[in-house]
Amino acid sequence: MSNSEVHEIFRDIEERFKHRTLKSAEHNARAKHRLPGGDTRTATFYKPYPAYMVRGKGCYLYDADGNEYIDMLNNYTSLIHGHAHPKVMQAVRDQLESGSVFGSATEIQYFHAEHLCARVPSLDLVRYNNSGTEATMFVMRAARAFSGKDMFIKMDGGYHGSHDFIEVNVFPRQASQPGAEGLPLPVVEAGAPKSVLNDMLVVPFNDLDAVEILLKKYEGKIAGVILEPILGASGMVTPQPDYLKSLRELTDRYGALLIFDEVITFRISTGGMQKDQGVTPDLTAMGKIIGGGFPVGAFGGRKGIMDVFDPNRPNALFHSGTFNGSDVMMAAGLATLELYDQGAVDRINALGAKLRNGIEAAFKKEGIRGQSTGLGSLAQIHWRSGKITNAMDSAEGFSRAGDLPRFLHLELMNRGFYSAPRGMLAISTAMDEQIIDKFFEAFAGALDLLKPYVVEQAPHLLVP
């Protein structure tokens, strides 16, 4: 097959997408007049333009043209029960009858907090805000206030939202720009002040030696180590055995706090990745599923640390926000958490294992090097073989895959499945084995369609 014939496959995929989404194209053209590029959330943008969704029910989404999709993304993992779960919606309606937010303390705030603290091992006390970004920002502020230190260690490729101090090495850097001791060179993303680099250090995920090098070099200056227990946006990279336990030991030995960002990984068990792995951090940031589909963030930890926010204390840290602990969010979140019991966790985690295994089986059948990482109800498609232990391993596969990730995403949409453009997938309790089987059929068909491109443009992905 010639190069022109291979690229004709891509043109066909894109043209079929455009033909299915004519009204979305109209929406996008209008949106560009008032939104930069027609966009207000970078993660939801993809070319040629995003499909405009108008309705969701259970595990299904419907776009402006009436196309139906099985939602394999669930608002980037936040909708653990899918769309418009009846019990969650009833809790919201009941609360709306009384009001949405009051600018006052309300009992549902401590109801939610009691439930959350009972589930998550690290939580003695918790405070609420409106996003995962805010949660990681304030969890770092709490660590600084408590420890009297300013510096943090984060993971290369680790994503913790979009506040300035965490906008360092959001994209992995260690291979192309090594810094001191061969570690990743801290690089601030565009728009954040370079001054944050004075207090941010970067290590590869799963590299304990790198953490100890910096803890030793800057002993007495590091407030904490912050990480997602599974690297989310950088490819659902899972921790090596005992990695998290060893981080706990290292931070204790050198007097730094251990901070888990469980915005995504809370769903792994009834009490997050920390409960699943038996590792209790000092502080935890949360979001997504704990808000039941509404904007939410939360952070908490040991009483001695969280007491820095107690307004009864002299010089307490000020933490406020117009919609912190809003009653509608609390009602939706509490209903969601009550539904997400051990049985629900076990069921969707089993579906997640089936999903990952099926993706790898499809790659093998087509003779293409590929795999799926993740844990529990989370999965990520990778265009590479070999171990993936850090963000650079993940990024290398994508950089060498050319246009494959983009057109796999579009072709899955053409076949009625909605996923993240980067290949991330998340199971909801609205799904069952039949849904996963349907995905396998669509995924296998998409791989078969794309294989000529692999042969011509990415032969390194062919299994000999």
Spatial neighbors of 100 by CB under 8 A, at least 6 apart, are 326, 327, 328
pLDDT tens-place string over residues 122-151 = 999 999 999 999 999 999 999 999 999 999
Confidence of residue 185 (pLDDT cuts 50, 70, 90): confident
Question: What is the percentage of the chain residues whose pLDDT exceeds 90?
Answer: 95
pLDDT tens-place string over residues 94-124 = 999 999 999 999 999 999 999 999 999 999 9
Domains within the chain, CATH numbers bracketed: 3-83+342-461 (3.90.1150.10), 86-339 (3.40.640.10)
Whole-structure pTM value: 0.97
Known catalytic residues?
Answer: 159, 261, 288
DSSP labels for 201-264?
EEE-TT-HHHHHHHHHHTTTTEEEEEE-SSBTTTT-BPPPTTHHHHHHHHHHHHT-EEEEE-TT
Q: Is the dihedral of CA 316, 215, 187, 423 positive or negative?
A: negative
pLDDT tens-place string over residues 84-95 = 999 999 999 999
Q: What's the mean pLDDT in 208-228?
A: 97
Q: Is 77 left (phi over 0), alpha (psi -120 to 50) or beta?
A: left
Based on the number of CB atoms within 10 Å of its own CB, is 12 exposed (0-12), middle (13-18) or buried (19 or more)?
Answer: middle
> Is it the case that residue 177 has pLDDT exceeding 60?
no
Taken as a whole, the chain contains a residue count of: 464
pLDDT tens-place string over residues 6-60 = 789 999 999 999 999 999 999 999 999 999 999 999 999 999 999 999 999 999 9
CB 247 within 8 A of CB 208: yes
Query: In the block, which residue shows the tokens 């109801």?
Result: 111
Give first-to-last CA distance, the chain, whole Å.
Answer: 19
* pLDDT for the residue 175: 52
Task: Please tell me the distance from the alpha carbon of residue 448 to that of residue 433, in angstroms, as a whole number.
Answer: 23
Task: Please tell me the distance from the alpha carbon of residue 172 to that of residue 177, in angstroms, as a whole number.
Answer: 10
Q: What's the mean pLDDT in 349-354?
A: 98
* pLDDT for the residue 51: 98
Task: Please tell me the distance from the alpha carbon of residue 439 to that of residue 447, in angstroms, as a whole number.
Answer: 12
For the chain, the average pLDDT equals 96
Bond into 48 cis (ω within 30): yes
pLDDT tens-place string over residues 150-169 = 999 999 999 999 999 999 99
